């Protein structure tokens, strides 16, 4: 079943823009493609699909594009949908008619972004929803569709009719930033959690944390809690204390 209690606003708890996107040389072309796509210039393809591993910046770019596009089409016509918020279990539900009615009530969506699209690979109802939304939005004058997922096109297992649509426009690959930019990524992650992580602390921490974002977020949360409990700013000594506690020493 698809839950209609979905989030249709771009992530509000993040400060995402093209200006603060941590590029790395390998992602300059992709970021520029996203910037041009969000400008809604005539003659550009009507769709853009970004693929890349976790923590490569896909949600950041979708959000940055949404902010640029909303200045042109209006905030109510730029919509963000996270597939993780749509998926659930059990039963059938005719969600498309309800969503279409809701979208139409929002002055006709002209810039639609879909995040974590990989979840539609094993969910035909969700795949069908994305397919119809793609057709609906791109059929409107000036309408644009952007999506992000973690799977390379060669590994897609969408129904053929959806894969074909997704490949009609531009497809761009995002790569993880190099080791030299990992401290900046950690500082940005902390800022999204309303934390101030000093650069020296980020440099110390990044060599000791696993690369997966879940572990990094958990460690940052522990650092934040200890900082608040002790009433101290985040520093290397405070982070070392968090690490010792986690190691049980």
Tokens read off for 98:
């309800």
Residues 54 and 169 both lie in one domain: yes
Domain annotation covers residue 10: no
pLDDT at residue 76, rounded to an integer: 74
Residues 146 and 191 both lie in one domain: no
pLDDT single digits (tens) 80-100: 888 877 665 433 444 555 565
Tokens read off for 198:
């000093």
Residue span of the structural domain in which 240 resides: 179-247
Domain annotation covers residue 9: no
The structure tokens 């980020």 sit at 202
pTM strictly above 0.85? no
pLDDT at residue 11, rounded to an integer: 57
pLDDT at residue 91, rounded to an integer: 37
Residues 163 and 194 both lie in one domain: no
Residues 56 and 83 both lie in one domain: yes
Domain annotation covers residue 116: yes
pLDDT at residue 85, rounded to an integer: 72
Residues 162 and 190 both lie in one domain: no
Residues 168, 190: Cα–Cα separation, whole Å: 37
pLDDT at residue 214, rounded to an integer: 66
Secondary structure E strands in the chain:
47-51, 78-82, 111-115, 144-149, 170-173
- What is the side-by-side order of every strand in the sheet holding 111-115? 78-82, 111-115, 144-149, 47-51, 170-173
Residues 100 and 133 both lie in one domain: yes
Residues 125 and 145 both lie in one domain: yes
Residues 158 and 43 both lie in one domain: yes
> Which residues, given as ranges, of the chain have pLDDT below 70?
1-15, 17-26, 86-107, 177-181, 211-214, 247-249
pLDDT at residue 121, rounded to an integer: 92
Asked which of 127, 158, 173 is the last residue of a domain, the reply is 173
pLDDT at residue 24, rounded to an integer: 63
Residues 78 and 120 both lie in one domain: yes
pLDDT at residue 96, rounded to an integer: 55
pLDDT at residue 88, rounded to an integer: 53
Residues 51 and 159 both lie in one domain: yes
Tokens read off for 131:
């397919």
Tokens read off for 239:
């982070």
Whole-number Cα distances in Å, 77 to 9, 11, 70, 105, 213:
10, 15, 7, 10, 31
Q: By the 8 A CB rule, do 150 and 56 touch?
A: no
Which 3 state secondary structure label does DSSP give 148?
A: strand
Residue 190: exposed, middle, or buried by beta-carbon count in 10 A (0-12, 13-18, 19+)? Answer: buried
Q: How many domains does the chain have?
A: 2
Residues 161 and 193 both lie in one domain: no
For residue 195, the domain's CATH number is 1.10.8.60
pLDDT at residue 2, rounded to an integer: 39
Domain annotation covers residue 16: no
Domain annotation covers residue 12: no
């Amino acid at each position: 079943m698809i839950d209609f209690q979905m989030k249709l606003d771009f992530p509000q708890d993040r400060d995402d823009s093209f200006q603060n996107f941590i590029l790395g040389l390998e992602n300059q072309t992709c970021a520029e493609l996203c910037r041009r796509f969000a400008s809604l210039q005539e003659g550009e393809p009507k769709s853009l699909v970004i693929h890349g591993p976790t923590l490569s910046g896909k949600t950041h770019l979708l959000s940055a594009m949404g902010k640029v596009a909303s200045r042109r089409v209006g905030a109510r016509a730029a919509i963000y949908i996270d597939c993780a918020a749509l998926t659930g279990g059990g039963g059938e539900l005719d969600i498309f008619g309800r969503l279409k009615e809701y979208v139409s009530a929002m002055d006709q969506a002209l810039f639609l972004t879909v995040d974590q699209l990989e979840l539609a690979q094993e969910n035909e109802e969700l795949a069908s929803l994305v397919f119809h939304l793609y057709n609906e939005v791109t059929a409107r004058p000036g309408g644009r569709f952007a999506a992000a997922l973690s799977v390379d096109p060669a590994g897609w297992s969408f129904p053929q009719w959806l894969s074909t649509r997704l490949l009609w426009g531009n497809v761009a690959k995002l790569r993880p930033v190099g080791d030299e930019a990992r401290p900046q990524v950690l500082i940005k992650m902390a800022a999204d959690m309303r934390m101030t992580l000093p650069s020296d602390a980020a440099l110390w921490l990044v060599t000791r944390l696993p690369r997966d974002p879940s572990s990094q977020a958990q460690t940052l949360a522990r650092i934040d809690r200890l900082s608040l409990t002790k009433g101290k700013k985040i520093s290397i000594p405070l982070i070392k204390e968090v690490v010792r506690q986690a190691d049980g020493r």
